Amino acid sequence: MHVVEVVIDGFKSYAVRTVISGWDETFNSITGLNGSGKSNILDAICFVLGITNMSTVRAQNLQDLIYKRGQAGVTKASVTITFDNRDKKKSPIGFEDCAQISVMRQIVLGGTSKYLINGHRAQQQTVQNLFHSVQLNINNPNFLIMQGRITKVLNMKAVEILAMIEEAAGTRMFEDRRDKAFKTMAKKEMKVQELSELLKEEIEPKLEKLRQEKRAFLDFQQTQSDLERLTRLVIAHDYIRNKERLRQSADDLEAKKQRAKDLEASAVRMKKEIEYLQDDIKKVQAAREKELRKGGKAHALEDEVKTHSHEIVRLTTVLDLKNTSMAEESDRKKGLEKSVKELESELKKKTAIYEKLQEKYKTAHDELAKQTEDVEKKEELLQTLQTGVASKEGQETGYQGQLQEARNRASAAATEQEQKKLKISHFEKQIKEDEPKAKKAKDQNSGLLKDLEALKSQAKKLEAELTRMGFEPGKESELYQQESQLQARIRELRQEADGLRRRVANIDFSYHDPSPNFDRSRVKGLVAQLFTLGKEHTRAGTAMEICAGGRLYNVVVDSAETGTQLLQNGRLKKRVTIIPLNKIAAFRASAQKVGAAQKIAPGKVDLALSLIGYDDEVTAAMEFVFGSTLVCEDAETAKRVTFDPAVRMKSVTLEGDVYDPSGTLSGGSAPQSSGVLVTLQKLNELTKEIQSQETQLAALQATLVREKKKLDAARKSKQELDLKTHEIKLTEEQIGGNSSSSIIQAVEEMKQNIVQLKEEMKSAKTRQDEASKEAKRIERDMNEFNNNKDSKLAELQSSLEKLKKALSKNSASVKPLQSEMREALVVSEQCGSDLAATQEQLQEVQTTLKTQQEEIRALTAEQAHVKDAHDVAQANLDDERAKLTGFEDELRALEEAIRSKNSAITEEGLEQQKLGHEIEKFHKERDAASGNLKTLGTEYEWIADESDSFGRPGTLYDFKGQNMIDAKARRKNMEERFQGMKNKINPKVMTMIDSVEKKEASLKKNMSIVIKDKKKIEETIVNLDEYKKEALHKTWTKVNGDFGQIFNEMLPGSFAKLDPPEGKTIADGLEVKVMLGKVWKQSLTELSGGQRSLIALSLIMALLQFKPAPMYILDEVDAALDLSHTQNIGRLIKTRFKGSQFIVVSLKDGMFQNANRIFRTRFVDGTSVVQATTAAEMK
């Protein structure tokens, strides 16, 4: 796109419409006398291009551009430029279909300005976009060289020259964008800090306080609801009980009064009957005494019978006890025999499982070892091929080393075969010579040799049997010694553990199963038993005890139902507090609070919960006990942390002093339970060690029981083997004493050596074949590797990765197998231990039964003897008593009757007293029940409406489904808690917290957006810096080369370049270095004015050439140059800037004579006129 016509009307010195046409598309020159309007043509072009800096066109404002500022009757100025747009490749965006583009700009006196494009009104931005798209940005021009630009370039510093390069590269705009980005980022950072401070100082403290108030309010509401429910339940129960009591008392009272009257009459009657019976007894006794005075034989017989009776009773009792004990032992024996069978069966199963797992583990382990070896070989080969250096010192490198090793092995195997052949040949020759002698000697010793062979065969069988039995000398004594040591160690540990248990006896918690088949795992135990305190936190033991307080002895259960069962049916020995995991309201301090506390005193503050270890299933209980208290190293730290506004949590020092945010402090002496946790930790460690030692002992005892029979059999076999060995020795000595035996032995040894040598030759031949195959394979791999190294390395790398994945997978599978095998071994050993213990018990029971049977036989014989003596004495006594039987029977009957009457009188008297008390109690209870019913009906109006539901199953008033005693106790506790909470809650907290939470969420969202924006800006700055650096270096390289060439063309034999100052980089600036002839000048001051102008022009032309524009405007750039240099510039423009249109203002012939079109300006009658011509016409 180039200028073909310029129309100027009323612009500066052009008062009338002036049409300047015939513009050449490459080189145009404007010349004329000073003040004739040459530069005004350039100003007119700049005016249309949209210049905003009026100083560039030598004006202060737009009004200065109108002819004589509008004082000569001209009130507006306009300039129209017509551009040739036939080259579609260089056409502005959106104007590809226009062959010509006409742009007009007009200003009216007063400052109004308008643009027309092809006769249509257009916005200034549209015009600027049109010119920007073809690199004609008039406000940041690289195509416009006005008067004075040369002088400025000469005086520029290194940083300013760098700025020109940056402007040519287009990176100046990135500086502006970068500065704007930094400012925006600073604003974002301030915004983030502002939001963070707002959240930290205002929102979060307020929100934390409101959350605490919310929890308190919700707890209050729940308490209020539970209290109302319990109150109704308890009141309804009291109402029903009083009502039933009132109804029953009326019915029972009359019956009890009538019964009291009947008892009084009966007592009077029976007293009279007793008096009559006593008179009868006196009469019978007198008659009996009279009969007894006749003889005393009966008394002696009675004593004898009594003695024998007592002995029979004693023996019978002892026999019964013995029989009972024997029956129990028999039952126990049956149970133990059954247990032995079950354990033997189970042991076989467990042993089979263990052996199967052991075999599976061994297979997996061997496979893993093989894969590991393959991976190491592959890694070694890959590293060697990649680096040429073996990873292991002393090894050969790469395929060459492997090939050499394979060849060496093949050579060694071949050598070994030759050696074996020579030895075989030697032995065969020797056998031929000695075999006849050996045959003769063998015939002589055939009998002894047969005996020796038989003895050796028997000895081998015994050795094989011992090997099969696993016999090891000294193993039995070693096992018994280990058993003794373990038992002694267990006793020591138990004594120490018992001492520790006595110190913490108050943590013992025992109970009976509240229901059949009760799952005891539902009761987790006391809080003190459910966590561990690591050795590194032992000094915090006192603080943890104070932190937990009475909760340390609370019982943790899985649910409220389990807790209820324990309290009702567990037969607990003392009162306990239950913590049900499904109901407990656990609380744990927020990470922000703990973080704030640790920030205040780094390394001196920890949340109590973080100092202990526990199972996940009791997390809620641990958080309930330890989740809201901090443990501080000293009192000063506790004070700072507790009362800090960002924390406000209860703190406990290591000495046990408590600091509460409400302002209370407690401490001064060690707590009575001080050291309980530390003692518990020691006890737990001892218990674990005892369990470990007992497991080892049980396994050892099971081994002893299991190996006992084997050891006995092995001992017997060993004795037989020793005997056979001795016989063999004697036989060999006898044979050895014969001179011919050495020949036989030598021949046999040589034959054996030949067989062995042949086997070794086969093995050597196999190794030689394998080594040869290995060498051929390595040679083939070497050829493939040399032909395709990258592919081979990639193949090796891929193979290695696959092997590593398989190795990782197998390694992961081996660990569970190993763990499973160990568990199976422990189970098997435990089963064996149980079997041994059961067998010992069975043996003890059998011994006991045998002893008891002997005792029973002796007691039975003694009992029979005593019974016979008793029967004789009894027969004699019966004869004597026959005479006194009548008196005795009568006396017994009378005494029995009196006792019966007295007993009945006593019982009726007690019953009468009881009835009196009951009648009096009924009166009181009836009055109390009546008063209670009236009071309850008046105080609780809802009773009248809901009394029909009282006691009905499935309703709120189901009394049978609940423990009413527990309900009343809970109601009392809840009333106290409700009254304490009533004055502390904030009823408006729900509305307030909702508003603050929404504000917090909004602020956090805004802060997140700001942080993301900041991150994007930082990334943009980094990208801009990288782009600027790359573009600047590229521009400097191109401009520097063109600069030197252009300067050389203008001033042949010279050279110039742009270099950073000494010791600095491009980013620090650029300086002009000039070489005249072969001498580099130290400074531009050493050059003449013309040479410096050429330097400046060369730099400007190089910058223009870097990013060619469709049009260049030069205003008297040759002012300081002589004719020859001016001509060089003209030629340079024609040769170096093809495709661009030059409009040059010059007063020198050397310039405009090179132009294809010349416009001469003159000033006639106060206005400028233009005449078009050519260089030829001027000549």
Token pair of 283, please? 């009469």
Closest CA relative to residue 739, chosen from 358, 438, 1070: 438
DSSP 540: G
pLDDT at 742: 67
pLDDT at 471 over 60: no
pLDDT cut 90: percent of the chain above it: 4
Question: For the domain that residue 42 is a member of, what is the CATH number?
Answer: 3.40.50.300
- Structure confidence at residue 226 as a pLDDT band (50, 70, 90): confident
pLDDT, mean of residues 1119-1125: 71
- Structure confidence at residue 58 as a pLDDT band (50, 70, 90): confident
Mean per-residue pLDDT over the chain, rounded: 78
Q: Based on the structure, what is the number of domains in the chain?
A: 1
Q: Return the minimum-mean-pLDDT range out of 311-325, 445-459, 1072-1086, 1138-1152.
A: 445-459
**Model pTM score:** 0.35
Give tens-digit pLDDT for 543-580.
888 888 888 888 999 998 888 888 888 888 778 888 99
C-alpha pair distances (Å), 569 with each of 24, 556, 563, 960:
117, 17, 10, 15
pLDDT at 8: 94
DSSP 66: B
Q: Is residue 520 part of a domain?
A: no
pLDDT cut 70: percent of the chain above it: 84
CA dist 658 and 868 (Å) reads 85
Name 77's bridge partners: 107
CA dist 957 and 485 (Å) reads 66
Pick the residue with more confidence: 763 or 785?
763
- Structure confidence at residue 127 as a pLDDT band (50, 70, 90): confident
pLDDT at 116: 93
pLDDT at 920 over 60: yes
Q: Is residue 219 part of a domain?
A: no
Kind plus residue range of the DSSP H or E element containing 82: strand 76-84
Give tens-digit pLDDT for 289-298.
766 665 555 6
- Cβ neighbors of 458 (< 8 A, separation 6 or more) are 724
Highest mean pLDDT among 88-92, 226-230, 990-994: 88-92
Closest CA relative to residue 1105, chosen from 1047, 1032, 1042: 1042
pLDDT at 723 over 90: no
Q: What is the DSSP string of 751-790?
A: HHHHHHHHHHHHHHHHHHHHHHHHHHHHHHHHHHHHHSHH
Kind plus residue range of the DSSP H or E element containing 102: strand 100-108
Asked if 1094 and 1125 touch (Cβ cutoff 8 Å), the reply is yes
Q: Is residue 389 part of a domain?
A: no
Give tens-digit pLDDT for 405-430.
778 888 888 888 888 888 888 888 88
Q: Return the minimum-mean-pLDDT range out of 317-321, 343-347, 475-479, 964-968.
A: 475-479
- Cβ neighbors of 738 (< 8 A, separation 6 or more) are 441, 444, 445
Pick the residue with more confidence: 103 or 726?
103
Q: What is the rounded radius of gyration, in angstroms, for the C-alpha atoms of the chain?
A: 61
pLDDT at 744 over 50: yes
In 513-617, at which residue ranges do the beta strands (DSSP E only) sit? Answer: 523-526, 531-533, 555-557, 578-580, 605-607, 612-614
pLDDT, mean of residues 279-295: 69
Asked if 1070 and 1058 touch (Cβ cutoff 8 Å), the reply is yes
CA 648 from chain centre, in angstroms, equals: 30
CA dist 253 and 247 (Å) reads 11
Q: Is residue 120 part of a domain?
A: yes
At residue 646, the 3 state secondary structure works out as coil
- Structure confidence at residue 34 as a pLDDT band (50, 70, 90): confident
pLDDT at 494: 81
Pairing, β 555-557 against β 523-526? antiparallel
pLDDT at 1060 over 80: yes
Q: Is residue 533 part of a domain?
A: no
- Structure confidence at residue 334 as a pLDDT band (50, 70, 90): confident
How many Cβ atoms sit within 10 Å of the Cβ of residue 372? 14
CA dist 233 and 958 (Å) reads 8
- Structure confidence at residue 9 as a pLDDT band (50, 70, 90): very high
Q: Return the minimum-mean-pLDDT range out of 348-357, 515-524, 609-618.
A: 348-357
Asked if 1001 and 203 touch (Cβ cutoff 8 Å), the reply is no
- Structure confidence at residue 721 as a pLDDT band (50, 70, 90): low
CA 875 from chain centre, in angstroms, equals: 95
Q: Is residue 1118 part of a domain?
A: yes
Q: Is residue 688 part of a domain?
A: no
pLDDT at 394 over 60: no
Asked if 16 and 9 touch (Cβ cutoff 8 Å), the reply is yes
- Cβ neighbors of 677 (< 8 A, separation 6 or more) are 528, 533, 541, 544, 545
For residue 114, the enclosing domain spans 1-143+1109-1179
pLDDT at 451: 65
Highest mean pLDDT among 134-143, 213-222, 278-287, 304-313: 304-313
CA dist 1047 and 1096 (Å) reads 9
pLDDT at 104: 94
